[in-house]
Structure 1
Amino acid sequence: MDDGVYVLIKKGDPEQLQKRKFLHKDESTIGRRGNQLKPDIEFSSPYVSRKHAVIRKFGHQYTISDLASKHGTEVNGVAVHQTPHPLFHGDVISLAKGVVELIFFAEGSEMDVTREFSFPLPAAKADPKTAVSGLVINLERREIRLDGNRIYLTGKDMDLLMLLFQRANQAVSYEEIMVLIWPERLVGTDKNVPDVGRTEINALVYRLRKRLGRYGEKVTTIPRYGYMWEE
């Protein structure tokens, strides 16, 4: 069982905000609650379909599929259909055009050991964002190549790069970085934000920029807010 795998409710019913929903089952349904239907992860918004989406577990690998919902499902801004879409640590799941937002966490699970899927997935279309003039970032394999040479990052360095890169040209707040990069510091507390200071975040960013060499300047500072990966 992957006890560390869960979704954090970032946006939705007020009483559920910042709550974690652990994904212990092989199949966890997401939808609107009703008298006859009780999804595993339920919301009250009328824009969320009764059977909106489902997260499935294959060993230590997770996917999400839309269940022909009326207003759709997205992962990191990309539409998801009935074909299984792989989930990785830090992915943002959006239902009904952002009415509900969930963050997928796989911190500390065996899923973090390998990002390769053993079951067939549809071939992905080439994404020009994964190659930046000498800097190649493979999101699924968590692999970084700089001018043809593979570089190795620590866990936190890699997590931060993946977070910023997946949200390219979108500012990511200090608070969101704290929650996504240091989720283990929430365990056993009643806080909504980990006890992580700006100095620690800035040190992590400094280290990442240094490892990326001349491409480190793509990690830009948003004064009094956070950071952004700039294309």
Structure 2
Amino acid sequence: MKALANIIVESGSPFEKGTFIPLNRSQMIIGRRGDNWEPDIAFNNIFVSRKHLSISLENGMYLIKDLNSKHGTFVNNQRLIPNEEFILKDSTEISIANHLIKLSFSSSSIEQTADMVPTVQMCKWVNNLALDPLRQELSIQGNTFIFSDKEYKCIELLLTKVNQIVPIEDMKKCVWNERAQTESALLDVSSDEVNALIYRVRKKTQDIVQIENIRGKGYILSFNK
């Protein structure tokens, strides 16, 4: 099976930071080596269970599942319920072993990613703008802005559609995807939560970008002249 996506290691022995691990099987298990047991992806850490988590490809979607590990699996800082599947999205963060092992999911193949990114940190360069999903940073015009997990998802989504309306429901699905029960379900995210998030992102980036609220429709990001 040709790898359609990959895991990028931010930290975790024995891999170097920035290592690309192709997801080249329909199911891959991450864990720790044991007697007569070799996981598909092995980490050297006592807090990693032998069969810690699995990543599977089903119906075009990548699903992550904690295999009832002792110390748990965290996706975007939320602990997964054991044996319940969670849909992985581009730049989703995964951490295990008390957050000593940190990974990131990329929906691009290694070849596509290598063409797209000039560094192992997977910065996405567009003119003088760079987004770093691992560090959750935006660099532009000599300025670097550091975001929380949800703030980063918000600014990344807005930047993919500069001068276009990003519907409120798209914002909810992208930023609060951990609340999704099914792909089509409406998320239980209040207007206050969305407004508070937009306020924080605006406050951090107000000298560089404008985020306009189109009442009842969504948000538009544009660059200050």
Normalised by the length of structure 2, the TM-score is 0.54
Match of 2:61 in 1: 61
Match of 2:129 in 1: 200
Match of 1:131 in 2: none
Alignment pair present for 1:221 and 2:204: yes
- Equivalent residue runs for 1:1-231 within 5 Å: 3-13=3-13, 15-81=15-81, 82-107=83-108, 184-186=115-117, 191-193=119-121, 196=125, 199-201=128-130, 202=140, 211=164, 215=198, 218-221=201-204
Deviation at residue 194 of structure 1 after TM alignment: 5.3
Per-residue Cα deviation, 1:72-96 (whole angstroms, up to 9, x for no partner): 0011011112111111111001112
Deviation at residue 209 of structure 1 after TM alignment: 7.0
Per-residue Cα deviation, 1:79-130 (whole angstroms, up to 9, x for no partner): 1121111111110011123111110110379xxxxxxxxxxxxxxxxxxxxx
**Among the aligned pairs, what percent are the same residue?**
24
In the alignment, the residues of structure 2 paired with residue 46 and residue 8 of structure 1 have an alpha-carbon distance, to the nearest angstrom, of 21
In the alignment, the residues of structure 2 paired with residue 76 and residue 15 of structure 1 have an alpha-carbon distance, to the nearest angstrom, of 21
Instruction: Give the secondary-structure state (helix, strand or coil) at the position aligned to 1:218.
Output: helix
Deviation at residue 212 of structure 1 after TM alignment: 6.1
Number of aligned residue pairs:
150
In the alignment, the residues of structure 2 paired with residue 183 and residue 76 of structure 1 have an alpha-carbon distance, to the nearest angstrom, of 24
Deviation at residue 57 of structure 1 after TM alignment: 1.0
List gaps (5 residues or longer) in structure 2: 131-139, 142-154, 167-194, 210-225
Alignment root-mean-square deviation, CA: 3.7
**Residues 194 and 72 (structure 1 numbering): CA distance in 2 closer, same or farther, change over 3 Å?**
closer
In the alignment, the residues of structure 2 paired with residue 71 and residue 198 of structure 1 have an alpha-carbon distance, to the nearest angstrom, of 42
**Residues 34 and 17 (structure 1 numbering): CA distance in 2 closer, same or farther, change over 3 Å?**
farther
Normalised by the length of structure 1, the TM-score is 0.53
Deviation at residue 218 of structure 1 after TM alignment: 2.6
Per-residue Cα deviation, 1:23-42 (whole angstroms, up to 9, x for no partner): 11111000012342111111
